[in-house]
Amino acid sequence: MPASSKSILVLGGARSGKSAYAEALGGGDFGAKVYIATAEAGDGEMAERIAAHQARRGAGWTTVEEPVALAQAIDGHARDGGFVLVDCITLWLSNLMHGEHDIERAVSDLCDTLARAPGTVVVVSNEVGLGIVPDNALARRFRDEAGRAHQAIGACVDEVVFVAAGLPLFLKRAEDGR
């Protein structure tokens, strides 16, 4: 990884403030700021959520919509001195599951990309493993895939932050490697 590079995983529950926290990380002195969106507006409610995220970010961001080929999108947009924000991993996993892609391979490719990406790359994801055990096989598989992905990504990034009530809890910091 180039010396000026940094990778961060931001986890949290629904409406925890994780996306706003991750976006604020991009407020520093960065060159290009790129938002890689994994969501697709499949209905009106999702279209409204996407529009709200775009409005909150404001000017200065380039939005790239990429529901599946995430590692390639990061490779194509990460630059020295730049900032890439991926939101979010759990939607990406849903897209991979729906398309019957090899999730283990895709997560491995993502980790390889994060390890070599120049600039700062922040990935946001929903922590879905803290609640009750889902009542159906598909939901249990999704929870398990998300948990495995978070473990793999958490191991390969420089920092991991858990956000609850809009407040960051640092699980792994770049300087200590924990």
CB 7 within 8 A of CB 82: no
CB 149 within 8 A of CB 93: yes
C-alpha R_g of the chain: 15
pLDDT tens-digit map of 101-114:
999 999 999 999 99
53: annotated active-site residue: yes
Q: Is the pLDDT of residue 1 over 60?
A: no
CATH assignment, 6-172: 3.40.50.300
Confidence tier at 2 by pLDDT (50, 70, 90):
very low
- Which is catalytic among the residues 53, 98, 101, 150? 53
- Could you state, in order of their start, the residue ranges of all structural domains in the chain? 6-172
Residue 93 phi, psi dihedral angles, 5° rounding = -60, -40
- Overall pTM surpassing 0.75 (yes/no): yes
Task: Give the whole-angstrom CA distance, residue 90 versus residue 144.
Answer: 11
pLDDT tens-digit map of 112-161:
999 999 999 999 999 999 989 999 999 999 999 999 999 999 999 999 99
**pLDDT value of residue 138:** 96
pLDDT tens-digit map of 68-92:
999 999 999 999 999 999 999 999 9
Helix or strand holding residue 128 (H, E): none
**pLDDT value of residue 4:** 67
pLDDT tens-digit map of 14-58:
999 999 999 999 987 888 999 999 987 777 887 787 777 777 777
